Structure 1
Amino acid sequence: MSHELIFFGSFALFIVLMLALDLGVFHKKDKPVSFKQAAIMSAIWVSFAIGFYLFLKTEGQELHNIKDQAHLEQVVKDHQHNISVTSANFQENLNRYTDNLSLEFITGYVIEYALSVDNIFVMVLIFSAFGVNEKYYHRVLFWGILGAVVMRFLFIFLGATLISQFGWILYVFGAFLIYSGLMMFLSKEGNDEIDPENHKVVKFISKFLPVYPEYVGNKFFHRVNAKLYVTPLFLVLIVIEFTDVIFAVDSIPAIFAVTKDPYIVFFSNIFAILGLRSMFFLLVNVIHKFHYLKTGLAALLVFIGIKMLAHHWLKDWGFTTTHSLFIILGILTVSVVASLAFPKKEVK
């Protein structure tokens, strides 16, 4: 078994244990998640991400088991890291590599975490449209995000394979991100209503599975006279899964603009979406106040798309991951500050 698979397996085991602890200990009973609980859980998940960043910064060579200069140069070449490791001092090169690796991780994490906010907008609409009881939000989000982890794994490593085989696909990703950003910027408010009965996912599921007409507590399935039905809560879960797939089409290519190492793309992606549940409960009642954030996210996608299209020129100009991180943080900070400084006028 390769060293990467052992590293990846250890990471996956850690995630499984944390999710089991979350559902089996901290949320055994269905009840609304308070702002305090959400703040604590958000802080914990962000702390894990920062801890992983520090681990990569000091021990990042363990990911690919780099032991010598030749292997280091090969890894940098294979994953197209924007650094030079040609110094005569191997340890100096290794430090440069781990510094860059950790920076790629945290930049990808910030991108995914920011784009997750738009996902929260849609989740709020879904729960509201389907009339889901607030105390069942956590259960739906838990299983939804567990499914998202599996889907992201497939998307990321498929994307990495395509990039390694067809380098030109980066330009396709870049053009798509610019298009997505412009569409997000041009989209008008009020077009986000969700019709549960006519939703495409609901119609598709209803063709193949019998749907029980009402909620049955926290159950996704309900048996009546030996016949098994899916409940409306199951439909909500599938709609949220489908929504995450749509968002992944934007967010995963965006992180590939920062790093071509699929493991780093996966780690940054997973840490962000695992913190999505707690961020949902943290922002659900105040997210409407950040009305310029969607504009900021649109600008973020356009910037990342341009970076993908111009990556060769930017590399020649000395544009680094650090520059990307500063620009990304700047875009997000401006959008948040603008939202607070110029609050949206309420329609009377």
Structure 2
Amino acid sequence: MSHELMFFGGFLIFIALMLAIDLGLFSKGDKPVSLKTAAIMSAVWVLFSLGFYWLLRHYGFELHNIHDLNHLQEVITKHHHEIKIIPGDLAASLDVYNKNLGLEYLTGYVVEYALSVDNIFVMVLLFTSFGIPERYYHKVLVWGILGAIIMRFLFIFLGATLIAKFGWILYVFGAFLVFTGIKMFINRNQEEEVDPQNHPVVKFASKYFKVTPKLDGGHFFHIENGVKYMTPLFLVLLVIEFTDLIFAVDSIPAIFSVTKDPYVVFFSNIFAILGLRSMFFLLVNIIHKFQYLKVGLAFLLVFIGLKMLLHHWLAEVGFTTTHSLIVIISILALSIIASLLFPKHKEIAE
């Protein structure tokens, strides 16, 4: 356990350093994030994510400090990895384990990154509804990501504990994801709206705290006559955190369909979240063009839910993590290609 905590602690230190840089400790002033900067940061986060895949692919056994076949078998059994060790050959068995661990991480990362796109639709709507200037988007999103990391940590390790004690809960997760996917498909053409005055988070904050409708630059709080008020900037941050909490209910069970190792779930989840901020600025002005993406995400959730419901049967017929990754990428690719080939009539007219 101490070895796992050291590995995990090193990961958290790296994330903290990157967030400190991202928050702007080395830059001054609030200003809109340019498309060029967003593209560079998106590429950087993807490279970091792929670099972590390389680390797990070659040194994944160090996560649980595996150095003998008995311990390796214990870890495989505990986390339900769909692999078999090679009797009498520790090196070859560790290579199989590392390859599978890296693939599980990569598949989980792709799933979370894809589901995060739906979050972008909502964040654009929130910023617009609350009248937040574009130059403050970056600050709100970075603090929002920090809160999301803490919530995901609690959700993931709680979920892992529940799965370890109650195996049947996987079927509950699977049924929920199928239901969510079908609901998303049915509501795919509905226009989402946000009423800032009547949002439950805003009503709760207004009831128990002092709130001002006026922005105070990039400050979350405004002090007037010795009284501290929440600004709309802090309110939209609270709403984004609440929204991420709702999205986590979908995305975290989805990754547990790929791997039952909570550390791998956390790693893939966090790298996807960290890339979300830069992806937001990259897609904010063109996200509306991907009208079939919600359809793709709906099919993705249904596939993942069915995979959880039928995981014993799929294991028997030889359906592996590699097959899951191929299906997931195919669904996303088809939805993006369809959006580009068949744009909305309004966009054609424009």
Other-structure match for 1:81:
81
Identical aligned residues as a percent: 66
Other-structure match for 1:291:
291
Question: 2 CA distance for matches of 1:189 and 1:200?
Answer: 24
TM-score, normalised by the number of residues in structure 2: 0.98
Other-structure match for 1:54:
54
Letter in 2 for 1:302: V
Letter in 2 for 1:179: F
Post-superposition CA distance 1:270-326 (Å, at most 9, x none) = 000000000000000000111000000000000000000000000011110000000
Distance 1:205-1:106 versus aligned 2 partners, 3 A rule: same
Deviation at 1:23, TM superposition (A): 1.6
Question: 1 CA distance for matches of 2:189 and 2:314?
Answer: 35
Other-structure match for 2:149:
149
Tell whether 2:203 aligns with 1:203: yes
Other-structure match for 2:323:
323
Question: 1 CA distance for matches of 2:248 and 2:232?
Answer: 24
Question: 1 CA distance for matches of 2:283 and 2:264?
Answer: 27
Question: 2 CA distance for matches of 1:188 and 1:109?
Answer: 24
Distance 1:141-1:306 versus aligned 2 partners, 3 A rule: same
Unaligned runs of 5+ in 1: none
Question: 2 CA distance for matches of 1:26 and 1:319?
Answer: 48
Question: 2 CA distance for matches of 1:286 and 1:182?
Answer: 25
Relative to structure 2, which stretch is displaced further, 252-261 or 77-86? 77-86
Deviation at 1:189, TM superposition (A): 3.0
Question: 2 CA distance for matches of 1:199 and 1:268?
Answer: 31
Other-structure match for 1:20:
20
Letter in 1 for 2:47: S
Other-structure match for 1:36:
36
Tell whether 2:318 aligns with 1:308: no
Contact 2:56–2:98 at 8 Å: present in 1 too? yes
Deviation at 1:205, TM superposition (A): 1.0
Letter in 1 for 2:178: I
Letter in 2 for 1:145: I
Contact 2:188–2:294 at 8 Å: present in 1 too? no
Letter in 2 for 1:142: V
TM-score, normalised by the number of residues in structure 1: 0.98
Deviation at 1:88, TM superposition (A): 2.3
Letter in 1 for 2:297: L
Other-structure match for 1:5:
5
Deviation at 1:86, TM superposition (A): 4.0
Tell whether 2:105 aligns with 1:105: yes
Other-structure match for 1:264:
264
Other-structure match for 1:238:
238
Other-structure match for 1:345:
345
Relative to structure 2, which stretch is displaced further, 214-223 or 84-93? 84-93
**Helix, strand or coil: the match of 2:64?**
coil
Deviation at 1:27, TM superposition (A): 4.5
Deviation at 1:25, TM superposition (A): 4.1
Question: 2 CA distance for matches of 1:208 and 1:86?
Answer: 61
Deviation at 1:212, TM superposition (A): 1.2
Deviation at 1:263, TM superposition (A): 0.1
Other-structure match for 1:94:
94
Post-superposition CA distance 1:194-226 (Å, at most 9, x none) = 111111111111111110121111111111111
Number of residue pairs the alignment of both structures matches = 348
Relative to structure 2, which stretch is displaced further, 27-36 or 297-306? 27-36
**Helix, strand or coil: the match of 1:132?**
coil
Question: 2 CA distance for matches of 1:325 and 1:125?
Answer: 31
Relative to structure 2, which stretch is displaced further, 134-143 or 191-200? 191-200
C-alpha RMSD of matched pairs (Å): 1.1
Deviation at 1:24, TM superposition (A): 3.1
Letter in 1 for 2:2: S
Letter in 1 for 2:320: T
Deviation at 1:26, TM superposition (A): 5.3
**Helix, strand or coil: the match of 1:32?**
coil
Deviation at 1:46, TM superposition (A): 0.3
**Helix, strand or coil: the match of 1:222?**
strand
Other-structure match for 2:189:
189
Other-structure match for 2:225:
225
Tell whether 2:273 aligns with 1:273: yes
Deviation at 1:345, TM superposition (A): 1.3
